[in-house]
Amino acid sequence: MCIWLPNWPSQRAFVAKLQADPQPADLAKDSDQKKELVGPIVLYRRDPRRGNIVATANQMARQAGILPQMPLSQCGSLCPSATVVEHDPQSDIEALVQLAESAQCFSPIVGLESLDTQIWAGRSLHEPQSIYMDVTGISPLFDGEDRLATEVICWFRQRKLIVTVAIANQIGQAWAMANYSFRTKVAQTLLQMELGQCNDSEENTIEQPFVAINDEAMEQQTRSILSLPIEALRIDLPTTAKLHRLGIRNLAQLSELPRASLPSRFGPGLLRRLDQFFGREEEPFQTICSTPELHVNESFEYATPNREDVLSRLQLQLRLLCSRLDTLGHGALRVVCRISLEKNALDVSSLLTTDTSLDPSSRHRLASVLQVGLYIPSNDPEHVECLLRTQLESPACKIGGMYWAKGLATQITISAPMVWQQNSLFEVESLKHRDSIAKLIDNLSVRLGRENVVAPTILNNPLPELTYSWRPLTGWRKDGQQQEIKRKLGRAPKRDYQSEEPVIGPKKEDVWSRPTRLFSPPIALNVTEFSKIGLPAIVRYPRANSNVLRWTGPERLESGWWQGTTQQRDYYRIELENGVWLWCFLDQRKKGWFLHGIFD
């Protein structure tokens, strides 16, 4: 089964905006006000040659004439009311992986589509937008493949997401049918969703597009499959352009060409995709969850209230799993441990307490779940045990008293190759302590939470206070699959921070220097007296007036129209008589001076 989320970054931004700005109940029947609440959404990215360009846009913005690859400066005149957000591929991958993990309620084998080195024809973004699911033998549990596809679509619809679903014997056919069978219908449904015309009461009445292909209907579906465009083969843009110049638009025309001439004229990629599409060559996909060999389940003979007993069982399971990882050459990136619990029948306090709000069958579903994410792949059982022991000993783990442990299941849900085994190529201090730093990050993430152990990331924003953001150090990789180390062993490492070279500070004539401390937000600067040219002559800082000896600047910084009210600032570096260097700016809109930073 292939589940395609059309224009996934735009749909994710739409859902995020609905969650951040929920719709009032009294406006539920006013479609015009719904349109104002949601509105057009434009996601932009930075191009090294063209500047800020449109990465993607929702259907309302496309109706106004905004298209991908368009310069962002042209969007202001086409749609002034559009909400412009910087495109974040990392967040798209993380949200898509979380959806794939949650979709394991339908099948235990779920993964994302794997991309080629070049972007596919028909796609404007080089990132996954489809979820693969192995539904072999599962359709009878849902009374057929059509019913299974309907359940999957309703499950995504409850999350305010529009999807198309296709079931086929080959991954290529399922991907092609899901991506190219209902494109016009999908665009109309997305527009209705953004206009607020699809509420929860109409959820079951809206016709959702999907297609199911099986062995019995294969002969009847052959004509519709061959009518698909050649872009459905997941081929690159140059190959598609060559086929279009020859007048080949669909798979039926392409299948009439002699097979022997395809590799020499179009390269081996086209023939490989054709073989995968028609089932002549197998096509695997990488799953989000682990293989069955990386899962251990154990039921205790007698329930126990002692955490030490659970820890000893956990140690044995981790040693077994890490030995299997060592055989595969992989390391764990996420470990999930589920401790089954039951209420102690001998606990007198539980007998005296009666809670009628609880489900009588909930006592059979009691469990404590421990899960940890690692910074780099690791197959060291002692390190993983240390991380899980921290959560096992926390008060959140309900073991002891009225809750006794009766079973333990440990699973490695995400693993990756051990890419950090080469450690002696460059002898520098930063590489010597690499493993220790990774263990420190893992322990801090377990104790403080993943969202509290972060690292700065540079953003493309002209305003100094918005040039960075904080991202968690542990979690998903950029591609949603295995971690890749690009050219790390093929180039010299960066200069070590413990080098004996002296650190050179900013020069007085360097106008582009930035202060070591920034105030967020900038504070108003108390200017006592101005010079003849309108610059500060006497400044009150910190508590007494001080003369300005010299200044350097101005440096003009201006924000874009898509960030709200345009900010126009003229930055100056001012040296005071008391030896303090200030970094302040003149706000051209407010006509006031603000202090933004200090040079230490």
- Rounded CA-CA distance 3/15 in Å is 18
Q: Are 43 and 85 in contact (CB under 8 A)?
A: yes
Long-range Cβ contact pairs of 417-424 (< 8 A, separation 24 or more): 417/329, 417/330, 417/331, 417/377, 417/482, 418/329, 418/330, 418/331, 418/377, 418/379, 419/376, 419/377, 419/483, 419/484, 419/485, 420/376, 420/377, 422/489
Average pLDDT over residues 457-486: 65
Helix (H, G, I), strand (E, B) or coil at 588: coil
Question: Rounded to whole angstroms, what are the CA distances from 124 to 61, 68, 73, 121, 128?
Answer: 16, 7, 19, 8, 11
- The confidence band for 364, taking pLDDT boundaries of 50, 70 and 90, is very low
The per-residue pLDDT for 496 is 41
What pLDDT, on a 0 to 100 scale, did the predictor assign at position 419?
61
pLDDT for residue 206: 42
pLDDT for position 516:
78
pLDDT of residue 429: 54
User: To the nearest whole number, what is the mean pLDDT of the chain?
Assistant: 79
Q: Are 599 and 584 in contact (CB under 8 A)?
A: no
The two beta strands, 330-343 and 367-378, are antiparallel
Closest CA to 347 of 378, 392, 303: 303
* Number of helical (H) and strand (E) elements in the chain, helices listed first: 18, 21
Q: Are 480 and 128 within 8 A, CB to CB?
A: yes
Query: What is the SS3 assignment for 434-479?
Result: HHHHHHHHHHHHHHHCHHHCEEEEECCCCCHHHCEEEEECCCCCCC
State the average pLDDT over residues 519-530. Answer: 88
Average pLDDT estimate for 246-262: 89
Whether the per-residue pLDDT at 420 is higher than 60: the answer is no
Q: How far apart are the C-alpha atoms of 578 and 581, rounded to whole Å?
A: 9
Instruction: Specify whether the CB–CB gap between 17 and 175 falls below 8 A.
Output: no
| pLDDT value at 396 more than 80 | no
- Which of the 8 DSSP states describes residue 361? G
Mean pLDDT of 297-305: 88
pLDDT of residue 475: 62
Cα gap 531→535, rounded to integer Å: 5
Q: What is the pLDDT of residue 5?
A: 93
Give the whole-angstrom CA distance, residue 595 versus residue 376: 41
Question: Is the pLDDT confidence value at 365 over 70?
Answer: no
pLDDT recorded at residue 272: 92
Confidence band (pLDDT; 50, 70, 90) for 248?
Answer: very high
Residues 380/318, Cβ–Cβ less than 8 Å? no
Give, in order, the Cα–Cα distances in Å from 277 to each of 5, 211, 212. Answer: 21, 17, 16
Residue 90 has what pLDDT?
A: 84
Q: CA-to-CA distance for 571 and 554, rounded, in angstroms? A: 5
pLDDT band at 243, cuts 50/70/90? very high
d(CA 336, CA 62): 42
Lowest mean pLDDT among 48-52, 176-180, 224-228, 291-295: 291-295
Handedness of CA 441, 445, 447, 448 (dihedral sign): positive
Residue % of the chain over a pLDDT of 70: 79
Q: Does domain 291-350+365-471 have CATH number 3.30.1490.100?
A: yes
* Lowest mean per-residue pLDDT among 158-162, 203-207, 305-309, 506-510: 203-207
Residue 503's pLDDT is what? 41
Who wins on pLDDT, 423 or 397? 397
Q: What is the pLDDT of residue 485?
A: 36
CA-to-CA dists, residue 13 to 18, 34, 599, angstroms: 9, 16, 38
Q: Quick check: helix, strand or coil at residue 599?
A: strand
pLDDT tens-digit profile of 369-378?
A: 888 888 788 8
Residue 150, φ and ψ in degrees, nearest 5: -65, -40
| Residue matched to tokens 């962002």 | 72
Tokens standing for residue 348: 């007198």
* Extents of the domains making up the chain: 2-7+90-277, 291-350+365-471, 517-599
Top-confidence range, 286-295, 369-378, 415-424 = 369-378
Which of 70, 64, 202, 201 minimizes the C-alpha distance to 124? 70
> Which of 412, 408, 434 lies closest to 325, judged by CA?
412
> For strand 130-133 and strand 164-167, is the pairing parallel, antiparallel, or unpaired?
unpaired
- Residue 175: strand pairing partners: none
Of 249-263, 331-345, 523-537, the one with minimum mean pLDDT is: 331-345
Residue 105 tokens, joined: 């309620």
Residue 217 scores a pLDDT above 60: no
Residue at 11: amino acid letter = Q
Any idea how long the chain is?
Answer: 600
What pLDDT is recorded for position 137?
87
The predicted-structure confidence for 93-145, as pLDDT tens digits, reads as follows 888 988 988 888 898 889 999 888 889 998 889 999 999 999 988 888 888 88
Residue 77's pLDDT is what?
87
Q: What strands lie across the sheet with 568-576, from one edge to the other?
A: 517-524, 592-599, 581-587, 568-576, 545-558, 536-540, 527-530
- What share of the chain has pLDDT > 90, as a percent? 18
Q: Is 15 exposed, middle or buried (0-12, 13-18, 19+ CB in 10 A)?
A: middle
